[in-house]
Amino acid sequence: MKGIKTLVSLIVISVLELVTAAFGFGQDRIRIGVPLFPTVAFPAFVASEKRFFERNGLQAEIIRINSEPTTYQALISGSIDVAAGAPAGLVLANLQGVPVVSLGSWDNVVPYTLATRENIDDVAKLKGKKIGVNRLGGKSSLILRVMLEEAGLNPSKDVILLQLGGSQERLAALVRGGIDAAPVDYAFEPKMKQLGFFLVAGRKTPFMNGSLAVKPASLRADPGKWKRFVKAFSEATQYITTQKEGTLEVLTRVTQMDDKASLEFIYEQMRSRANVSLRPPQAAIDNLVKMVGYDDKRALALDKSKLFDLSILDEPAPTKPKK
């Protein structure tokens, strides 16, 4: 009889836990701002769909936002709780006297491939060409500037920069012939080859691409929640590196792509770039600040320690108490 009662109790507890998980009872809500094309923030989608957030006591809402400035406006106003994959705004916000810190970064390599209409084997041959970027001072223009200067070109004089929007808009402009070249998200490499464009080989420059930015006040108010968030995000990043089929399922839904070759390419790129520890290399941090410094010299004198709070990575995440 006692054994039956114990069994019934266990069943009841299990059912209650399932109901709690299903309806989000007792979970901390967290709103995550991500770019429209979401590969740079992809672990957030994996953590949501594969229930890593839920298992860590979090109810996540992922919100796609069309620009980095808008993302940080939403973060500062409290419309979102964390900005994923928008690194330049982290530096710019601090330069404007608005404290924002990064909890870590899962992707620390420059995310763009330079696509051209002509078969150009050297970036220096882009002199006099029209090149599309998202916006002057944006991530793609900052990274392009590094590539041009490394090739001995002056970005302000030797090329014509046109502000066109995100990677998809820049790719469309290439198709129309309105520009000669553009830095485009690596995820579009198979598509660009199919369309007959050429890809200019470049160095895999370190760059803190996959930043997770929050307001310090939010971090101080509930450090336990943020430790659980980082734990879930890291677990999702680990999942990407080891679970190909499950990751491809999420990737297919998130990107709405049906080209198997492109999906396989994107997966392998993400797997190779994934940093499960979320600790960005110093070179990736230095290049982020350096690139922002091209347009705002104050960045070069910025105390880089103010851009981070990595202490959250040093302690195990607490277990969310059941309510």
Per-residue tokens: 41: 């923030």
Residue 33 lies in a domain: yes
pLDDT, residue 320, reads 52
Residue 125 lies in a domain: yes
pLDDT, residue 23, reads 44
pLDDT, residue 319, reads 55
pLDDT, residue 322, reads 44
Q: Last residue of some domain: 164, 180, 200?
A: 200
Same-domain check for residues 189 and 214: no
pLDDT, residue 20, reads 43
The residues, ordered by sequence, that sit 6+ positions from 187 with a Cβ below 8 Å of its Cβ are 37, 39, 167, 255, 262, 265, 266, 269
pLDDT, residue 24, reads 43
Q: 240-266: b or e for each residue (b if 16 or more CB lie within 10 Å)?
A: beeeeeebeebbeebbeeeeeebbebb
pTM of the predicted model over 0.85 = no
Residue-number span of the structural domain to which 60 is assigned: 25-109+208-313
Please give the C-alpha separations between residue 21 and each of 14, 64, 168, 226, 235, in angstroms, as whole numbers.
11, 24, 37, 19, 18
Same-domain check for residues 89 and 123: no
pLDDT, residue 312, reads 85
Burial bucket for residue 174 (CB in 10 Å: 0-12, 13-18, 19+): buried
H/E run at residue 307: none
Residue 9 lies in a domain: no
Q: Last residue of some domain: 158, 177, 200?
A: 200
Give the separation between CA 76 and CA 214, rounded to whole angstroms: 9
Instruction: Return the DSSP state at 109.
Output: B
Same-domain check for residues 95 and 214: yes
Q: Where are the beta strands (DSSP E) in the chain?
A: 28-35, 58-65, 82-84, 101-105, 112-116, 130-133, 160-163, 181-185, 198-200, 211-214
The residues, ordered by sequence, that sit 6+ positions from 227 with a Cβ below 8 Å of its Cβ are 312, 315, 316, 317, 318
Per-residue pLDDT tens, the chain, 323 aa: give them: 545 544 444 444 444 444 444 444 468 999 999 998 889 999 999 999 999 999 999 999 999 998 888 999 999 999 999 999 989 999 999 999 999 999 999 999 988 889 999 998 888 999 999 999 987 767 788 888 878 888 899 988 999 999 988 888 898 999 999 999 999 888 889 989 999 999 986 667 899 999 999 999 999 999 999 999 999 999 999 999 999 999 999 999 999 998 999 999 999 999 999 999 999 999 999 999 988 888 889 999 999 999 999 888 876 655 554 44
Other C-beta atoms within 10 Å of 182: how many?
Answer: 30
Same-domain check for residues 105 and 212: yes
Give the separation between CA 281 and CA 106, rounded to whole angstroms: 10
Give the separation between CA 72 and CA 238, rounded to whole angstroms: 27
Backbone angles phi, psi at 129, to 5 degrees: -90, 160
Give the separation between CA 64 and CA 76, rounded to whole angstroms: 16
pLDDT, residue 67, reads 85
pLDDT, residue 146, reads 79
Domain count, the chain: 2
Q: Last residue of some domain: 200, 234, 262?
A: 200
Same-domain check for residues 191 and 215: no
pLDDT, residue 295, reads 81
Residue 123 lies in a domain: yes
